[in-house]
Amino acid sequence: MLNNFKLSKKLSSHRKTRNWQLTILSLFLLLIYTIIVSISIGYTSIPIPNIIKVFLTNAPGLNRLFHYSVSPIEEVLILQVRFPRALCAALVGAALSIAGTVYQGLFRNPMADPYTIGASSGAAVGATSAIILGVSVTILGINTIQFFAFIGCLITVLGVYTISRVGTKVPVQTLLLSGIAVSILLSAVVNSFHSMFPEQFRRSAFWLMGSVSYSEWADVWSALPFILAGSIIIYLYARDLNILALGESEATHLGVDLEKMKKVLLVSSAFVTAAAVSISGLIAFVGLIIPHVTRLILTPDHRLLIPTSALMGAIFLMLCDILARVVISPSELPVGVVTAICGGPFFLYLMRRKKKVDAS
Amino acid sequence: MVHLKINNIDCYYDSVKIIENISFQFQTGQFVGILGPNGSGKTTLLKSISHTLKPKTGTILLEDEDIYTLKAIDVAKKMAVVSQGANIAFSFTALDVVLMGRSPHLSRFAMESEKDVEIAKKAMTYTGTLHLQDRPITELSGGERQRIIISRALAQEPQVLLLDEPTTFLDVANQLEIMELLKQLCNNKKLLVIGVFHDFNLAARYCDSIVMLKNGKIVTAGKTDILTSENIKTVFSIDTVVKQNSITKTPYIIPIMVSHQVPYRSLTVHIICGAGSGSSLMNLLIDNGYNVTAGVLNLLDTDQETAGFLKIPTTIEAPMSPISDTTYKNNLKLIKKANFIVVTSFPYGYGNIKNLDAANFAVEHKIPTFLLDESLIELRDYTKGQAQEKMQILKNKGAVSVKDEKTLLAAINYLAKTCTDSKNISLKSIASAAVIAQMEVTS
C-alpha cells in the first residue's frame, strides 16, 4: 500500500515534466505548420510542397543535398516577402504575449497587458519621435528607433505604475484607468506626429493600427536579439512570478528579492515590448488574451506559461495576419484591426467575469 | 532548542517610532499570542521578527544569530510567515501553492524534486488538506485556503512560524480548528508559534504565553493568567469580567461596554430582580442615562455580580438565605428614593417572596411600578400560589405590565419626558405610557 502510494507520487511528478515537454513540442510543431500555411496563403497562393522545396534548397547545410527546380518568382515571394512577414508576426505575437504575462504576473492582475497599461503607446511615441528627429542610425547593433521606443516604453510603464499605486498595492481599477488614459493620450501624440510630418511616415497605417505588411528581414534581425534576450531574462524569474501570486509580502517572506525582481522584469519586458512595437506599431489585446487563455487551458505556472504563451501568441498573430490578408483581398486590413475585433469582446467578457467574482 | 531573542528593539516607519524598547525571549514548542489594540505595534513587531522591518536599534537573534545579517532566503528556511487575509492572484492548484513553500530550499533553476513533493504532501496531510491537492486555490473556502497557506508555511520546514491574525475572516468552527492545529504544531512538531490575535478569548484558550502591547511597548507578558481585568483595562481601555472557563480551565473574558454618558436627568429606577433576570436591564437603563438601584439580591447571584460590576447601589442578603427584616427595610429605603420600580421576571420562593411586598409598598407610595413580562407567573411560583396572589394585588393597585425591556424603556422615557413632577404621576398616565410605548415598539 505504502509502496503503491510512493509509486503513484513518483509517476505524477515525472508525468508533469513530461507533459510540459510534450505541450511545448506540440505547440512548436503547430507554430512551424502555421508559418508554412501563412506563407502559402495570399493574393497568389503557393502550394505547400513548393514552399518546402524552396526551404530545402535554400537552407544552409541542406542545400547541398537538395536541388529542386523552383520558380524564381515564387522563391522571391517566399523568401523575401512572406517568410519574413510570417516571422515578424510570430515574433511580435510572442513578444507581446510574454510582456503581457510579465505585466499580469507582476501586477497580480489578469487585465494588464502592454497595450492596456500604456507600454505599447509609450514605445510608439518613442519610435515616432526618433523617426521625426531623423536620427535613424545604428550604434553597437542598437537601432536608435528601437532605443527611443525602449525609453518611451519604460518611462510610460513606470509612470502608469506610479500613478496607479495606492500605498503598496496596484488596484485593478486605477491601473486600467490610468493605463488606458495614458495610452489614449500617447496615441494622440503619435497621431499628431503623423499629421504634422506626413512625408516622414510612408507606413502610416502600419503605425497607427499595427501591421506587419511591410516587414522585411531587416525587421526580423533588428527585433529578434532584444526579444530573445529579454525573454531569457524574464524566464529566469518564472518561479519568482509564481510565488508573487501569493502576495508581495508572502513573496518577500519566501526569500524573493522583490525590488530587484520588479526592476529587472519591468526593464526586460520594456525591451521586449519596444522591440515588437518598433517593427509592428500598435497591436492591441494580444498580450491580454494569450496569457489569459493559456493560463486558463494549460497552467498558471509561469515556468510553462511563459514559453507556451509565447508560442500561442506567435501562432495567434500569424492567424490574425492571414485573416487580415484574406477578408478583403486583394486589399489588406492592418492586423491590429483583426486583433482588436477579437480582443475587444474578450476584454469585456473578462470585465464581466471579474465583476461577478468581485460581487460573489 | 530554538531560541528567539529580542533585545531592546526600536522600530520606526520613516521617522515615526512604532515600537520601543521591546525585549523578549521565546522558546521552542511555545505558542505565543501577541495582543493589543489597533495601532499598538503588534504587526510591526511581527514584521521586525520576520525580517521585513529592520529595527533601528537592538537585535533579533535566532539561535544566537542576528537575523538581519542573514539573507532573506536563509531566513525563509528557518522562519515561515502567514500574513493576514492573503489572496492568491491566479488559480494555482492547492499542491502548487504548498510546493511554493519549498522554493527557499531550491536553487533558481531547480525543479521541485520527489522529495519536495513528498514534504508538501506531508504538510497537507498534517493540516488535513491532502484531498484538496488538485483543486484550484481560488475555488477553496476561506478556512480551506487558510489551511493550505499554513501547509505552505510548513513545507518551508521552519523552526518558527509567525502568523498575523490567522483567524480573522474565518467562522467559529474554522477559528477553533486553526487554533487547535497551531497548538498541535507546538506540542508535536516543537515549533515556536508566534501569532497576533484580536480575539483574546481565543488566545487565552490556546496560547501558552501572552505578550500584551500598548503604544509600542510591552505592558505585561507571561502565562495566560496575566489576562486580568486590570491588565485588559490598561491595554484595551475596556471593562471586562474575567472568569474561568469551567470547561477548559482557561481565562474567559467578557467585555462590558460601560456608558460614559452622564444621566441626563437625575431619575432613578429601582429593579427588583434575581437569578440573572435583571442584568441586561441594568445595562440598558444605565446606557440610557438613568440611575439604577437594585434589591434585594443574594450575594453571588448573577444579578448581584452584574450590579457589583456596574457599581449599582444594591441591598444584599447573604447567599442562599431568605430576606431578613433588616434587609427588607433597607431595600424600602432604596425604593423610596426611586422614581420608577421594575419587577423583572424571576422565580419566587419563600426566601424572596418579600420582594413582592416591597413592590406593593412602592405601589402604595404612588411610585410608578412596572411588571416586566409577568405572564406565566404560575410557572415561576414556588410558594403555592402566594406569589400569584400578590402579583394580582399589585396589578389591581395599578402596577402596569410591559412585554419586554424595549417597551419598558420606551414607557419610562415617555414618562420622563412628559411628566414635570416625577414624584406625582397619576395611575392613568402610567397606563397610557405603557400603551403608547407598546405602540411605539411594535410600529
Q: What pLDDT does B422 receive?
A: 65
Provide the pLDDT confidence category of residue A9 given band limits of 50, 70 and 90. very low
Q: What pLDDT does A360 receive?
A: 40
Q: Which of residues 240-259 of A touch B (CB under 8 A)?
A: 242-247, 249-250, 252-257
**CA–CA distance, B345 with B316 (Å, rounded to integer):** 19
Longest dimension (CA), chain A: 78
Mutate which of B13, B81, B90 to disrupt the A interface (most A C-beta within 10 Å)? B90
Mean pLDDT over A271-276 rounds to 90
Find chain B residues with C-beta within 8 A of A10's C-beta.
Answer: 114
Interface of B with A (CB under 8 A): 50-52, 71-77, 79-81, 83, 86-92, 96-97, 100-101, 103-104, 106, 108, 111-114, 117-118, 121, 149, 152, 156
Give the strands of the sheet with B192-196, arranged side by side.
Answer: B79-82, B160-164, B192-196, B31-35, B209-214, B217-223
Q: In this model, does residue A291 exceed pLDDT 90?
A: yes
Is B56 strand, coil or helix?
coil
Q: List, in order, residues 6 or more apart from A1 with CB less than 8 Å away.
A: none
Output DSSP code: residue B208: S
Output DSSP code: residue B348: B
Provide the pLDDT confidence category of residue A342 given band limits of 50, 70 and 90. confident
pLDDT tens-digit map of B300-339? 888 998 888 888 899 999 998 899 999 999 999 999 989 8
Cell of A185: 493620450
Q: What pLDDT does B308 receive?
A: 85
Find chain B residues with C-beta within 8 A of A243's C-beta.
Answer: 100, 103
**CA–CA distance, B95 with B133 (Å, rounded to integer):** 5
pLDDT tens-digit map of A213-246? 888 888 898 889 999 999 999 999 999 999 999 9
Cell of A281: 506599431
Domain that holds residue A103: 2-359
- For A311, B187, B252, the CA distances from A237, given in Å and listed in that order, are 19, 38, 49
Q: What pLDDT does A5 receive?
A: 43
Sequence-ordered strand ranges (E) for B178-273 = 192-196, 209-214, 217-223, 239-244, 251-256, 268-272
Q: What is the ipTM of this complex?
A: 0.81
The rounded mean pLDDT for chain A is: 83
Q: In this model, does residue A199 exceed pLDDT 80?
A: no
Contact between B256 and B283 (Cβ < 8 Å): yes
Residue in B268, B274, B270 with CA at minimum distance from that of residue B359: B270
What CATH number is attached to the domain comprising A162? Answer: 1.10.3470.10
B50, B80, B90 member nearest A295 (Cβ): B90
Nearest CA-CA distance, residue A176 and chain B, Å: 17
Is A246 in Cβ contact with B88 (below 8 Å)? yes
Q: In this model, does residue A105 exceed pLDDT 80?
A: yes
Please give the share of chain A, as a percent, with pLDDT higher than 90: 32
pLDDT tens-digit map of B166-218? 888 888 998 999 999 999 999 998 899 999 998 889 999 999 999 999 999 99
Q: What pLDDT does A3 receive?
A: 42
Count: domains in chain A: 1
Q: What pLDDT does A1 receive?
A: 38
Q: List, in order, residues 6 or more apart from A239 with CB less than 8 Å away.
A: A302, A303, B103, B106, B108
Cell of A61: 547545410
Using CB atoms within 10 Å of the CB of residue B27, give its burial: 0 to 12 exposed, 13 to 18 middle, 19+ buried. Answer: middle
pLDDT tens-digit map of B327-337? 999 999 999 98
Contact between B127 and B147 (Cβ < 8 Å): yes
- Report which residue type is found at A354: K
Q: Which residues of chain B have pLDDT under 70?
A: 1-2, 85-86, 257-265, 420-423
Q: In this model, does residue A172 exceed pLDDT 80?
A: no
- For A48, A54, A67, A75, A168, the CA distances from A62, given in Å and listed in that order, are 18, 11, 9, 16, 56
Instruction: Please tell me which residue of chain B has the smallest CA distance to A7.
Output: B114
Q: What pLDDT does A13 receive?
A: 56
Mean pLDDT over A119-141 rounds to 77
Domains of chain B with CATH codes: 3-256 (3.40.50.300), 268-442 (3.40.50)
Q: What pLDDT does A205 receive?
A: 57
Q: What pLDDT does A2 receive?
A: 40
Q: What pLDDT does A10 receive?
A: 45
Is A17 in Cβ contact with B88 (below 8 Å)? no
Regarding beta strands B369-372 and B16-27, do their DSSP bridges make them parallel or antiparallel, or are they unpaired?
A: unpaired
Find chain A residues with C-beta within 8 A of B117's C-beta.
Answer: 9, 12-13
Quickly list DSSP for B79-139.
EEEE-TT---SS--BHHHHHHHTTGGGS-TTPPP-HHHHHHHHHHHHHTT-GGGTTSBGGG
- For A98, A314, A321, A334, B228, the CA distances from A78, given in Å and listed in that order, are 28, 19, 16, 20, 86
Q: What pLDDT does A201 receive?
A: 67
B72, B90, B91 member nearest A257 (Cβ): B72
Please give the share of chain A, as a percent, with pLDDT higher than 70: 86
Radius of gyration of chain A (CA): 21
Q: List, in order, residues 6 or more apart from A11 with CB less than 8 Å away.
A: none
Q: What share of chain B is helix, strand, coil (3-state, %, to 5)?
A: 40, 25, 35
Q: What pLDDT does A168 receive?
A: 66
Contact of A26 with chain B, judged by CB distance below 8 Å, is answered with no
From A58-67, A112-121, B336-345, the region with the lowest mean pLDDT = A58-67
Contact of A69 with chain B, judged by CB distance below 8 Å, is answered with no
Q: What pLDDT does B260 receive?
A: 53
